[in-house]
Amino acid sequence: MRDTVINLQRSDAEELNALLDTVRNKQCAEDARVISLRLAALAVHARNKVLGAAEIVELLEQESLRFEHQAQEVH
């Protein structure tokens, strides 16, 4: 009986870990998609405004800071 309980607990833990892995992977994929879309929008903006290299670098630095602040809010 005790072996059955231990096996069930291990099975539950394994299922939980698998679920957490799935959620983490989905979140990473969503984060990558959001960043990709944002970078594409920045590229369109830079192209439409005919920004120079220095302006594009500044735009990327601002975006980098935005992502950094967003990450700090989560943690």
The DSSP code sequence of 13-45 is HHHHHHHHHHHHHHHHHHHHHHHHHHHHHHHHH
**Residue 59: how many other CB atoms lie within 10 Å:** 16
Q: What pLDDT digit, counting tens, does each position of 1-32 carry?
A: 555 555 657 688 888 888 999 999 999 999 99
- For the full predicted model, state whether its pTM sits above 0.85: no
From residue 54, give the alpha-carbon distance in Å to each of 37, 42, 67. 22, 14, 20
